[in-house]
Every structure is written in structure tokens, then in C-alpha cells.
């Protein structure tokens, strides 16, 4: 078994290869002036090849991912597993207005055409039950970093109140809180645009309490900032943040801190200075748990 990865995820790849006891090869990439990319894989790929690629800033990476998958097949990979710690385009899971493309459905079918299995962490699955539905005919594995982040919070802020900044994070924050017996609640979000949101706190007294906001993804940071301001206005003693996917585009992290957030912790699904919790054990266990069956790929 071999793990392929790009240089921008080499740190996570090295830890994962060590946990799996397999070889690691970094994919060579050369960018041409016209925007095209030349990829260089090892001369041969073993029958079961793993490809690690997170899809934060996805548009260019998707092209590289599909080219790498096709190249690995030509070089000997019979079973090809995608390990995608952050899977983009999952939030567009229905047509909210006529004519909208349901990107989750179509990206899932695209991945299913190239990979035998797809492993990801905390994907947006609010209108489908499993990752198997996203990648039809293939093995889809959806892991969650919620318990790992919950355990980190319990160590860093004993007795914290865990708040989900919106209803979509409700199940996720419960998964983080219940195993540790931590208090938890869910806020209500009203979105007015990509960067304009209002967040109403639940009917729970936050006065004097250490509050930790937990979410699966932090993109613009506006939802977390609004929730933090509300908690502090309600008398919270402190507000920290824990997220699985630390996208933090543009000035998002600065906006979160400006709202009064003390500490930000994230998983290493997305490389970021706030990384504090590793998902390598989750990913390694998921790979080890894949059925050792003949590949379903037919070219």
C-alpha cells in the first residue's frame, strides 16, 4: 500500500503514512504560465493506492485530483482510495432556487467514477443519510472529529458550556458534549448574505460561564463572531472556538478574535496555525476498516 499526497499536505501525509505503516510519495507538481499543471507520480503504484487530498480552495485542486487518480490507475493502482479530510461542495445539497446545480450530487458522482472508496471528516450531510449515497456504488466513509475536539475542550476549559452557533451544528455539538457530560445548547442563526448573519442565543444562562463555540467549518468567521458577541453580551466569562475545518478565508480569524474570542482550536483536516487536534488516528482506522474486496472500478 502506498500513500500519495501533494507537498502542501506533506505534514499530515507523513503522520498518516507512519500510522498506516506504508510508504509515502509526494506528487510532483509544476505550474505552467498558462495555469495548467504537470503532475509527476512514482513510476509504479501498488494495487491498493491511497490518495490524500483535502479540497479547501477546491477548483484548481479538483483538476489535479482527477488527473492524479487517472495517472495512478495507469501506473498500476487497482484499488484507489481517496482520503479527503475536507470535502468541498457538500453544502449545496439541494436546489434552493430553480436552476441551481446541486453540487453535492454531481461532485459525488464524479468522485465515484474515479475512486473505489472516499474517506472524509465531518462532511455536510444534512439531507442524505450516509456518504455511500454521495458516492453511489462506492464505499463512502464519513468520520467526525467532534469527540476529539470535545475532549480537547474538556482538558483546556473544564466545565465549559458548548454552544453550536446554528442548528446545522446541533448534532455535531451533541456528539462532542455527551460523552464527556458537558452542558451544551444550540443557537439560532439568521443568514442575510455570505458575510451577514445574526445569531440568537438559546434560552440558557451564560452569565459567568466559560463558553466554547463548536462548529464543523469556519469559513468567513461571521457566524462564530456573531455568536461570540452574543455570549459575551450575555455575561459569559470567556468565549473560545473549536472547529473541524479551519478555512478562515481572508480576515476571518481576525474578525473572530475581534469579537472577543480568546482561543481558537482546530483539527488538522485543513493545515492552519490553529491546528490543535489530529485526525490521523481516525483516518488510519478508517483505512484499516475498508473491506479487502476486489475493486469495482472498470475504467
pLDDT digits (tens, 9 = 90+) for 94-128: 788 899 999 999 999 999 999 999 999 999 887 78
pLDDT digits (tens, 9 = 90+) for 164-208: 888 878 888 888 998 888 899 988 866 645 556 667 777 789 999
Same domain assignment for residues 170 and 63: no
Nearest to 56 by CA among 29, 93, 83, 87: 87
Same domain assignment for residues 95 and 166: no
Between 258 and 297, residue with greater pLDDT: 258
Structural domain includes residue 298: no
Structural domain includes residue 29: yes
Structural domain includes residue 271: yes
Same domain assignment for residues 186 and 247: yes
Structural domain includes residue 297: no
Total structural domains within the chain:
2
Q: Are residues 244 and 268 in contact, defined by beta-carbon separation less than 8 angstroms?
A: no
Domain that holds residue 222: 146-277
Same domain assignment for residues 107 and 225: no
Structural domain includes residue 27: yes
Nearest to 2 by CA among 39, 29, 42, 38: 42
Same domain assignment for residues 157 and 203: yes
Q: Are residues 242 and 224 in contact, defined by beta-carbon separation less than 8 angstroms?
A: no
Give the angle 118-3-33 at the CA atoms, nearest 5°.
90
Same domain assignment for residues 156 and 8: no
Options 15, 61, 189, 294, the catalytic residue = 189
Structural domain includes residue 295: no
> What local confidence, expressed as pLDDT, does residue 167 receive?
82
> What stretches of the chain show up as alpha helix (H) in DSSP?
10-20, 58-74, 103-112, 131-134, 146-156, 170-177, 222-233, 252-258, 280-288
Structural domain includes residue 259: yes
Same domain assignment for residues 52 and 126: yes
Nearest to 122 by CA among 11, 236, 277: 277
Same domain assignment for residues 34 and 75: yes
CATH number at residue 155: 3.40.50.2020
Q: Write the CA distances from 145 to 85, 230, 249, 283, integer angstroms.
A: 10, 26, 21, 10
pLDDT band of residue 293 (cuts 50, 70, 90) is: very low
189 given a catalytic annotation: yes
- pLDDT above 70 for 297: no
Helix (H) or strand (E) holding 197: strand 197-200
Same domain assignment for residues 12 and 76: yes
pLDDT digits (tens, 9 = 90+) for 121-142: 999 887 788 899 999 999 999 9
Same domain assignment for residues 207 and 122: no
Question: What's the 3-state SS for 204-270?
Answer: CCCCCCEEEEEEEEECCCHHHHHHHHHHHHCCCCEEEEEEEEECCCCCHHHHHHHCCCCCEEEECCC
Same domain assignment for residues 163 and 125: no
Structural domain includes residue 257: yes
Same domain assignment for residues 127 and 18: yes
Q: Are residues 111 and 123 in contact, defined by beta-carbon separation less than 8 angstroms?
A: no
Q: Are residues 23 and 42 in contact, defined by beta-carbon separation less than 8 angstroms?
A: no
Amino acid at each position: 500500500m502506498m500513500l500519495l499526497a501533494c507537498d502542501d499536505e506533506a505534514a499530515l501525509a507523513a503522520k498518516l503514512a507512519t500510522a498506516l505503516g506504508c510508504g509515502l510519495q509526494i506528487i510532483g507538481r509544476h505550474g505552467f504560465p498558462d495555469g495548467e499543471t504537470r503532475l509527476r507520480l512514482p513510476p509504479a503504484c501498488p494495487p491498493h493506492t491511497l490518495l490524500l487530498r483535502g479540497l479547501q480552495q477546491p477548483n484548481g485542486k479538483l483538476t489535479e485530483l482527477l488527473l492524479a487518480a487517472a495517472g495512478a490507475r495507469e501506473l498500476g493502482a487497482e484499488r484507489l482510495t481517496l482520503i479527503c479530510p475536507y470535502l468541498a461542495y457538500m453544502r449545496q445539497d439541494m436546489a434552493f432556487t430553480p436552476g441551481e446545480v446541486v453540487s453535492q450530487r454531481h461532485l459525488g458522482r464524479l468522485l465515484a467514477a474515479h475512486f473505489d472508496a472516499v474517506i472524509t471528516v465531518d462532511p455536510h450531510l444534512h439531507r442524505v443519510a450516509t456518504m455511500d449515497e454521495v458516492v453511489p456504488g462506492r464505499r463512502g466513509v464519513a468520520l467526525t472529529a467532534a469527540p476529539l475536539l470535545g475532549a480537547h475542550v474538556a482538558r483546556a476549559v473544564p466545565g465549559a458550556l458548548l454552544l453550536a452557533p446554528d442548528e446545522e451544528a446541533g448534532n455535531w455539538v451533541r456528539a462532542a458534549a455527551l460523552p464527556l457530560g458537558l452542558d451544551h445548547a444550540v443557537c439560532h442563526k439568521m443568514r442575510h448574505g455570505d458575510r451577514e448573519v445574526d445569531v440568537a442565543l438559546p434560552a440558557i444562562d451564560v452569565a459567568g460561564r466559560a463558553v466554547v463555540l463548536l462548529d464543523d467549518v469556519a469559513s468567513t468567521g461571521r457566524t462564530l463572531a456573531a455568536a461570540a458577541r452574543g455570549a459575551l453580551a450575555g455575561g459569559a466569562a470567556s468565549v473560545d472556538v473549536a472547529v473541524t475545518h479551519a478555512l478562515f478565508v481572508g480576515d476571518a480569524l481576525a474578525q473572530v478574535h475581534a469579537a472577543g474570542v480568546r482561543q481558537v482550536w482546530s483539527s488538522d483536516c485543513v493545515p492552519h496555525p490553529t491546528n490543535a487536534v489530529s485526525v490521523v488516528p481516525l483516518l488510519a482506522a478508517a483505512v484499516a476498516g475498508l473491506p479487502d474486496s476486489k475493486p469495482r472500478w472498470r475504467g
